[in-house]
Chains A and B, each alone.
Chain A
Amino acid sequence: MTTISDEPSGKVSLWYDPRVRSMVSQVILIGLIAWGFYALVTNTIHNLERLKIASGFDFLGTNAGFTLIQSLIEYDQTATYGRAFMVGLLNTFYVAIIGIVLATILGFLVGVARLSKNWVISRVATVYVEVLRNIPLLLQIIIWYKILLLLAPGKREFGNILGIGNFNITGLWTPKFIAQDGFWVTGIAIVIAIALAWMVARWASKRQQATGQQFPSFWAGLAIVIGLPLLVFFATGSPGIVEHPEFVSEGSMLRRGFKPGVGFVFIPEFLALLFALVLYTATFIAEIVRAGILAVDHGQTEAAGALGLRRGKILRLVVIPQAMRVIIPPLTSQYLNLTKNSSLAMAIGYPDVMGAGGIVLNQSGQAVEIIIMIMVVYLTFSLVTSVFMNWYNAKMSLVER
Chain B
Amino acid sequence: MKKTLLALGLGTAMSVAAAAAATAGTLADVKAKGHVQCGVSQGLPGFSNADAKGNWAGLDVDICRGMAAAIFGDATKVKYTPLSSKERFTALQSGEIDVLSRNTTWTATRDTALGLNFAGVNYYDGQGFMVRKSLGVTSALQLGGAAVCTNTGTTTELNVADYFRANNMKFEVVAFEKSDEVVGAYDKGRCDVYTTDASGLYAQRLKLTNAKDHIVLPEIISKEPLGPVVRQGDDQWFNLVRWTLNAMINAEEMGITSANVESMLTSKNPAVLRLVGKEGSFGENLGVGNDWAYNIIKQVGNYGESFERNVGPKTPLGIARGVNALWSKGGIMYAPPIR
Contact = CB atoms under 8 A, between A and B. Distances in A.
**Chain A CB within 10 Å, residue with most, of B85, B114, B144:** B114
B16 A43 contact: yes
Contacts of A44: 9, 12-13, 16-17
Interface in B39-93: 85-86, 89-90, 93
B153 A51 contact: no
B188 A169 contact: yes
Interface string A323-349: 000000000000000000000001111
Contacts, number: 159
Contacts of B171: 67
A51 B146 contact: no
Nearest to B192: A254
A40 B11 CA distance: 10
Interface stretch (B174-182, B273-281, B296-304, B307-315): B174-182
Given A260-B172, A358-B152, A362-B152, A52 B232 contact: yes
Contacts of B152: 349, 355, 358-359, 362
A255 interface: yes
Nearest to A355: B152
A252 B86 CA distance: 36
A374 B20 CA distance: 25
Interface of B: 2, 4-6, 8-13, 15-17, 19-20, 85-86, 89-90, 93, 109-110, 113-115, 134-137, 142-147, 152-154, 157-158, 161-162, 165, 170-177, 181, 185, 188-190, 192, 231-233
A362 B85 contact: yes
**Chain A CB within 10 Å, residue with most, of B19, B85, B172, B190:** B190
A358 B9 CA distance: 19
Nearest to A171: B190
A375 B16 CA distance: 17
Contacts of A367: 15, 90, 93
Given A358-B177, A362-B153, A367-B90, 18 more contacts: A40-B12, A40-B13, A41-B13, A43-B16, A44-B17, A53-B115, A65-B158, A69-B173, A149-B190, A169-B188, A169-B189, A254-B192, A255-B145, A361-B86, A362-B85, A365-B115, A368-B16, A375-B11
Given A53-B93, A365-B113, A367-B15, A155 B86 contact: no
Contacts of B157: 66, 359, 363
A401 interface: no
Interface string A245-266: 0000000111100001000000
A77 B158 CA distance: 8
A268 interface: yes
Contacts of A54: 113, 115
B231 A51 contact: yes
B275 to A, nearest CB: 33
A47 B147 contact: no
A368 B145 CA distance: 37
A31 interface: no
Q: What's the dominant secondary structure at chain A's contact region?
A: helix
A53 B189 CA distance: 40
A358 B177 CA distance: 10
A164 to B, nearest CB: 22
A345 to B, nearest CB: 11
B9 A254 contact: no
B189 A40 contact: no
Contacts of B11: 371, 375
Given A69-B172, A349-B181, A375 B8 contact: yes
Contacts of A67: 161, 171-173
5 contacts: A68-B173, A254-B144, A355-B152, A359-B152, A375-B11
Nearest to A259: B145
B13 to A, nearest CB: 4
Contact of A48 (B2, B16, B109, B175): B16
B148 to A, nearest CB: 9
A240 interface: no
A375 to B, nearest CB: 6
B173 A252 contact: no
Nearest to B233: A52
B192 A358 contact: no
A395 interface: no
B13 A363 contact: no
Contacts of A43: 13, 16-17, 20
Nearest to A65: B158
A241 interface: no
B155 to A, nearest CB: 9
